[in-house]
Structure 1
């Protein structure tokens, strides 16, 4: 009679253990290169044995890939769809998002080839970023009739909103989050204007006599 409840309790306990292991892995991975991350340290931090980690995740590659998958799900869920929002609201939320997740996103991209499965997680993260940009600026993109102009404009929006752009402004330039938001707004401003015709090249001046 109580067996289903016991099994449910066991399953819930197993999930809590897995979450502790993944939490410990994320905490270590965020400050440790993949090749220096040790299962015994993960196990100690999670309060389990190495055998438990291996039994659940099959070793370090499977463990880190599972951690990255879970982190990506959380990152995607935290990056709300901003379709129809004003650009300043979009950028404010984007900067807040990168303040929380930017370092982890960039580390995933940097170590995508470190373990089997990480490259696929990184690819899905990139696809999510592209889809988010297309959705957040859908009205702008739909107003560009020429497909080549629209593709170029989409690529520019992706660059402005990329985590690497945030890192350069935040870490290398030393800007505050508010200043990063302003800088991104200034980069975005020209893209909010529909593209016009390419101006003609200036006429060559060869052969014009120099003034005395």
Structure 2
């Protein structure tokens, strides 16, 4: 009986330690994400990450190895969360989907574009960025493929899907919002004005 109690106690302590380590890892990633959103990657210091997470630099290194490893872990976690948000953006109609997509970019677009721009600075991150781009293509097929005009040959359909991918890209959102000075609502309207004719709708 005593051995069973001792075993249960050890298991509880091991579980508690694992949960504490997991929370520490999440705090470190949160601190890295907070810095990455505002600071060029090459200017981020592990000292600042550790300070933001309220841990030592040694703890950061022990958990993630290097700054590159930490960035890769941060990007991987965020891309998984963003994919879930993106999947939820598919609506019943193109109008609903574009409205959700613009809201998604309003929340995450700047971070996505920064990731693409700086992906080459850390090993492992270019592959994650490429995976994100592939996900965007597949999302566009899922969100709008059924709305494309029927009876198109393969070449035409492929061209139309490529147009959809470009119209719905985060770069297009940025151009409309910041280069063009449009409001989020105006950007939504502009995207629909480009997208609906491609889908064969007025």
TM-score range, shorter chain: over 0.9
2:181 matched residue in structure 1:
174
Alpha-carbon shift at residue 85 of structure 1 (Å): 1.9
2:48 matched residue in structure 1:
41
1:13 matched residue in structure 2:
20
Structural mapping, 1:188-199, within 5 Å:
188-193=195-200
Secondary structure (helix, strand or coil) at the match of 2:28 reads helix
With normalisation by structure 2, the TM-score equals 0.92
1:54 matched residue in structure 2:
61
Secondary structure (helix, strand or coil) at the match of 1:137 reads helix
Equivalents in 1 of 2:72, 2:194: separation in Å?
A: 35
**Alignment partner of 1:108 is 2:115:** yes
Secondary structure (helix, strand or coil) at the match of 1:48 reads coil
Secondary structure (helix, strand or coil) at the match of 2:119 reads coil
Q: Which runs of 5+ in 1 are unaligned?
A: 195-212
Larger radius of gyration: 1
Question: Alignment partner for residue 150 of structure 2, among 143, 168, 174?
Answer: 143
Equivalents in 2 of 1:49, 1:70: separation in Å?
A: 22
8 Å Cα contact 2:137-2:165 kept in structure 1: yes
2:161 matched residue in structure 1:
154
1:86 matched residue in structure 2:
93
Cα 1:113–1:84 change in 2 (3 A) is same
Could you report, residue by residue, the CA deviation over 1:14-61 in whole angstroms, capped at 9, with x for unpaired residues?
Answer: 000000000000000111111111000000010000000000000100
2:3 matched residue in structure 1:
none
8 Å Cα contact 1:84-1:137 kept in structure 2: no
Equivalents in 2 of 1:19, 1:164: separation in Å?
A: 29
8 Å Cα contact 2:89-2:101 kept in structure 1: no
Secondary structure (helix, strand or coil) at the match of 2:120 reads coil
**Alignment partner of 1:65 is 2:72:** yes
Q: Report which of the two has the higher share of helix.
A: 2
1:118 matched residue in structure 2:
125
8 Å Cα contact 1:43-1:53 kept in structure 2: yes
2:32 matched residue in structure 1:
25
Following TM superposition, where does structure 1 have runs of at least 4 consecutive aligned residues deviating by more than 6 angstroms? none
Aligned residues: 194
8 Å Cα contact 1:81-1:132 kept in structure 2: no
